[in-house]
Amino acid sequence: MFGYPGLSSPSLQLNEAGKLKHLLTLEGLKPHHIQDILDRADGFINTDTRQIHKQPLLKGKTIVNLFFEASTRTRTTFEIAEKSLGADVINLNVATSATKKGESLLDTIYNLEAMQADMFVVRHAKSGAAHFFAHHVAPHVHVLNAGDGRHAHPTQALLDAYTIRHFKGADFSQLRVAIVGDILHSRVARSQIQVLNLLETEEIRLVGPKTLLPHDASAMGAHCFTDIEAGLKDVDVVITLRMQNERMSSARLPSEQEYFETYGITEERLKLAMPDAIVMHPGPINRGVEIASTVADGPQSVILDQVTFGIAVRMSVMAGIMQT
Amino acid sequence: MIAITIQQGRLFDPANQLDVITDLHINHGRIIAIGEAPADFTASKVIDAKDMLVIPGLIDLSTRLGEPGLEHFTTIARETKAAVAGGITSLCAMPDTDPVNDTFAVTELIQRRARQAETAYVLPVGALTKGLKGEALSEMVAMHREGCVAFSQANQPVVNTQTLFNAFDYAATHKLLVMMRPIDAYLGKDGVAHRGAISSALGLPDIPSAAETLALARLLLLAEETGVRLHLSQISTARAVEMIHDAQARGLPVTADVAIHNLHLTEFDVADFASFMHVQPPLRSQRDRDALRAGVKAGVISAICSDHTPLMHDDKLLPFPESVPGISGLESLLPLLLALVREHILTLEQAIKAVTHQPASLLGINRGSLQVGAPADIAIVDLETDWLFNRRQLMSAGDNTPFHKWPFTGKVHTTLFQGRVVHQPKLA
C-alpha cells in the first residue's frame, strides 16, 4: 500500500461521512468501500444467466459521458449501465485539440453543469485529469474516472475484482495474481494493483520486460518478474494487458512477434499456472500479440464474463455515488 | 539622493564576517559608514531597525521578468517590485524571452526597461546560441559589452556536442561566464515528475536522475577541456552534488546553484496532482533534497535562487502533465531560506551568503555585501513576524506558488536599492 502523506487526498473523493462522492482512484479507499461496491453489484446481475437487472435508481438524473480519448467499448458499457439505472445519458466525444487551453477545458465542464448534468464519466489522455475535474466541478456534481492517462481506471479494476471473486471466492488472501504486459503505461494495472492490495491478495506479480515495468513496484505493493515462466508459476489468476503499437515506435519493444515470443500467454506457458487458473484481459485483445487465440477462447478464459460483470459493477458504482 | 541612517539593526554580512548591532549610513546611493556617522553627515531619513536583521540585498541567479514577450501579462517594472518586496535587489534575467535575448538590441531593451523602473538591478543573461537553438553562436562579446553577465541556454540543451564545445571554447576565449542547466536532450524529455515512487504510483511520465547527471558529465568534461568558466544552474539530484564536488576537488573552477523549492519539496508533494508543484527540474526524492541541503552546507552549491517563473492562470489550470512548469518565486525565496535556518538545516550565515556575496562573486559584481563604498542595496528583515504566505497578495503578476498558506516567520520590512527605499511596509 502507498500510505504516503497527502497521496491522492481521500477528502477529494469522499464526503464527510466517508462515503464516495466521486470515484477517481482506488488509492486511499478502505476495504469496505470495495466490498460495498462488489456486494451491491450482485443485486444488478444474475451471475448464472448473466442477466442484468434494470433498476431505475437514477431516474431523472443526467449523466454525461465525457470522452477526451477515443473509446468504444468502455463508453458503451458505461452507457448500458447508465440506461439500466434509468438515467438520461449524453455522450460527448471531445477532440482534445479543441480544448488545448485550460479555460476552455473548464468551460466545457461549466457549460455541461449549466445544462443540469449530475455526473461526468470522464476519460482523458493525461494522468491526473479526473482529479482536475473533481477539483473544479460544482459541489453537487459527481465525477467518475473512466481512465486518466497512465494513472487509474478504477471501474475496470473493480470489475476485475468482481470477476476474480466470482470464480475464486471472496477470500483473496491465498491468491497469487500475475499481471502480464505493459504495466508502465497501464492505468488498468495501477488500479488493479490497488484493488488487489485492498482485498489482501497474497501476491501480486508484475511480469514484463524492464522497458514496460514501473520503476518502483514495491512502492505500489507488487513484485516485478522479467522471467515469464517464473512469473506465471503457480498463479491463480493471469491478467494480460493490451499491447499498444506505440511501444514499438517509442523503442520499448522491437516487434509484436518478439513480444509474443517472449511474453505472450500461450497454452504451454499457461500450464505453469495452477490448473484451475483463470485468464483475464481488459480488452480489446490483440490475438497473437499478448495472448494466443487458443487461450483467449479456451476454457480458462473469463474475458467475456468480465465484460458482462462490468455492467453490473459500473451500475453499482454509479448508484452508490449518486446516492451520497 | 537622500542621506539615510539605518539605526541599531543587526548588521549581518557574511562577506565581511560582520554580525554586529550598530548604525549604517548611506549617502549618494552608497554605504558610507558603519557605526559612527562621518562628521559632516546629516541623515535626512532615519530607519529604525531595532530588533531587525540588516543584510545585503539578495541576488537571484535565475528569474523571468516577462519582458520582452509577455508585456500583456507582466513587466520588468512589476516583477522588480515583487523582487524588492522579497528583499531581492539584483536579478539575473534568463534569456528565454520572446524574442530570445540573443542580440545586444534585446539586452539593451531589458536594461532600458530596468533603468526606467529603477527598482532593482537587472542583470541580463544572454543566449549562448542564437534563438537558444543550439546551432549558431550568439554575439557574446557585443552582448557582454551591453551588460550580459553570463550566457545560458535556459531550459534548452545543446544537442550537437561539437556546437557546445565551440560555444564553450568561444566563451572561454573572452573569459565569459557560462550558466548551464544540465538537461539531456532526450532522456525524460516528455517527463513531468521524478522517476521514483510517486511517478510509478501515479503513472506520470518520468524524468530519471540520469537526465541530469548525463548532461552534467558532458558539461563538466567540456568545461575541463575548454577551460570555460562554468556555473551549473538548478541542480536537483544527489548524484549531481557528488559529481560537482569531485570536479571542484580536482580544481575545476565550477560553481552551482539550486532552486529554493528543491530544498523544501520532494516528489511526494506532487502526489495530489497539484499543478503548482509542477517544476523543472522536477521535485525529486527526499534523499536528493537532503543531499542538496548538504551540498549547500558544504559549499559545493554556492548559491540559492528562486528560479522565478510567473505564469498566467491558464498555464496552471490544466491537468498536471499539461500544465506549464514553474513557480512565481521572488517573494517566497527569503521566507523559505529563513525557514531552513529556523529548522536548523542551514545556519544564518550559510543561508545569507548563498543569496548575497557568493552569487555576487561568481557573477563578478560589486554587490552582495555591506562593505563601505558598496552600492546601498539592503534588505531589512523583521525576523519575528509570523505570517501566512498568500498567493493573492503577491506583487508579481504570477500567483503560481505551491506555498500558499504556508506559515512563515520573518518578513522583509524595508528594501533599499542604490540608497533609495524601494519597498517599505504599508501604513496600517
Longest dimension (CA), chain B: 69
Are B104 and B76 spatial neighbours (Cβ–Cβ below 8 Å)?
Answer: no
Q: Could you name the CATH architecture of B58-363?
A: Alpha-Beta Barrel (3.20)
Q: How high does pLDDT run on average in chain B?
A: 97
The C-alpha atoms of residue B126 and residue B122 are separated, in whole angstroms, by 12
A129 vs B: CB within 8 A: yes
Mutant choice from B272, B273, B315, B317 vs A, greatest count of A C-beta within 10 A: B273
State whether A102 and B314 contact (CB < 8 Å): yes
Chain A residues whose beta carbon lies within 8 Å of the beta carbon of residue B191: none
Chain B residues whose beta carbon lies within 8 Å of the beta carbon of residue A157: none
What is chain B's length?
Answer: 428
Write the DSSP assignment of A151-188 as a string of letters.
TB-HHHHHHHHHHHHHHH-S--TT-EEEEES--TT-HH
Q: Which residues 19-38 of chain A have a CB within 8 Å of chain B?
A: 27
**Which band of pLDDT confidence, cut at 50, 70 and 90, is reported for residue A113?**
confident
State whether B200 and A215 contact (CB < 8 Å): yes
Q: Which helix (H) or strand (E) holds B177?
A: strand B177-180
Letter string b/e over residues A290-317, b meaning 16 or more CB atoms within 10 A of that residue's CB: bbbeebbeeebbbbebbbbbbbbbbbbb
pLDDT at A99: 56
Query: Which amino acid is residue B1, in one-letter code?
Result: M
Q: Grid coordinates 540608497 are at which residue? A: B419
B268 vs A: CB within 8 A: yes
Domain B4-54+375-423 fold: Urease, subunit C; domain 1 (2.30.40)
A104 vs B: CB within 8 A: no
Give the closest-approach CA distance of A60 to chain B in angstroms.
Answer: 31
Query: Which of B198, B272, B318 is facing A102, going by the closest CB pair?
Result: B318
Write the DSSP assignment of B82-141 as a string of letters.
HHHHTTEEEEEEPS-SSS-S-SHHHHHHHHHHHHHHTSSEEEEEEESBGGG-SSSB--HH
Write the DSSP assignment of A199-221 as a string of letters.
TT-SEEEEES-GGGS-S-HHHHT
A187 vs B: CB within 8 A: yes
Write the DSSP assignment of B187-242 as a string of letters.
TTTT--EETTHHHHHHT--EE-THHHHHHHHHHHHHHHHH--EEEE-S---HHHHH
Query: Which of A124, A185, A216 is facing B197, going by the closest CB pair?
Result: A216
Q: Which residues 106-125 of chain A have a CB within 8 Å of chain B?
A: 106, 124
**Of B277, B188, B181, which is closest to residue B234 (Cα–Cα)?**
B181
- Say what the ipTM of the complex is: 0.87
Q: Flag whether pLDDT at A319 surpasses 90.
A: yes
A219 vs B: CB within 8 A: yes
Nearest CA in chain A to B314: A102
Stronger pLDDT, A70 or B285, i.e. the higher one: B285
What are the residues whose beta carbons fall under 8 Å from the beta carbon of B372, sequence distance 6 or more?
Answer: B31, B32, B33, B34
The catalytic residue positions of B are: 307
Q: What residues of chain B score a pLDDT lower than 50? A: 428
Query: Which of A102, A148, A216 is facing B317, going by the closest CB pair?
Result: A102
Mutant choice from A110, A126, A187 vs B, greatest count of B C-beta within 10 A: A126
In this structure, what C-alpha cell is assigned to residue A119?
Answer: 455526473
Q: Flag whether pLDDT at A102 surpasses 60.
A: no
State whether A127 and B198 contact (CB < 8 Å): no
Mean pLDDT of A296-311: 97
Domains, chain A, ranges and CATH?
10-152+307-322 (3.40.50.1370), 154-302 (3.40.50.1370)
pLDDT at A103: 56
B1 vs A: CB within 8 A: no
A273 vs B: CB within 8 A: no
Q: Which helix (H) or strand (E) holds A65?
A: strand A62-67
Give the closest-approach CA distance of B272 to chain A in angstroms.
Answer: 5
Q: How far is CA B384 from CA A190, B338, B342, B421, in A?
A: 47, 11, 11, 22
- Give, in degrees to the nearest 5, the angle at Cα A277 between A273 and A282: 105
In this structure, what C-alpha cell is assigned to residue A69?
Answer: 480519448
The C-alpha atoms of residue A292 and residue B97 are separated, in whole angstroms, by 55
Query: Which amino acid is residue B357, in one-letter code?
Result: H
**Which band of pLDDT confidence, cut at 50, 70 and 90, is reported for residue A96?**
low
**What is the tens place of the pLDDT at every residue in A207-236?**
999 999 999 999 899 999 999 999 999 999
Nearest CA in chain A to B193: A127
The C-alpha atoms of residue B399 and residue B332 are separated, in whole angstroms, by 11
3-state helix vs strand vs coil in chain B, percent to 5? 35, 25, 40
Nearest CA in chain B to A214: B200
Query: Which of B201, B269, B317 is facing A219, going by the closest CB pair?
Result: B201
pLDDT at B428: 46
What are the residues whose beta carbons fall under 8 Å from the beta carbon of B88, sequence distance 6 or more?
Answer: B57, B58, B59, B60, B120, B306, B330, B333, B334, B355, B379
pLDDT at B1: 65
pLDDT at A2: 37
State whether B201 and A103 contact (CB < 8 Å): no
Q: Grid coordinates 524595508 are at which residue? A: B414
Chain A residues whose beta carbon lies within 8 Å of the beta carbon of residue B313: 102-103
Q: How far is CA B145 from CA B106, B151, B178, B369, in A?
A: 13, 13, 15, 25
The C-alpha atoms of residue B121 and residue A159 are separated, in whole angstroms, by 62
The C-alpha atoms of residue A75 and residue B321 are separated, in whole angstroms, by 24
pLDDT at A95: 63
Map out the domains of chain B as residue ranges.
4-54+375-423, 58-363
State whether B201 and A217 contact (CB < 8 Å): no
Size of interface A-B (CB pairs under 8 A): 102
The C-alpha atoms of residue B238 and residue A250 are separated, in whole angstroms, by 29
Chain A residues whose beta carbon lies within 8 Å of the beta carbon of residue B314: 101-103
B400 vs A: CB within 8 A: no
Q: B255-259 and B303-305: which strand pairing?
A: parallel
pLDDT at B396: 98
Q: A176-180 and A203-207: which strand pairing?
A: parallel
Q: In chain A, which residue ranges form alpha helices assigned H by DSSP?
A: 31-42, 73-84, 102-114, 129-136, 154-168, 187-198, 217-220, 228-232, 246-249, 256-263, 267-270, 293-296, 303-322
Q: Flag whether pLDDT at A147 surpasses 50.
A: yes
Q: How high does pLDDT run on average in chain A?
A: 92
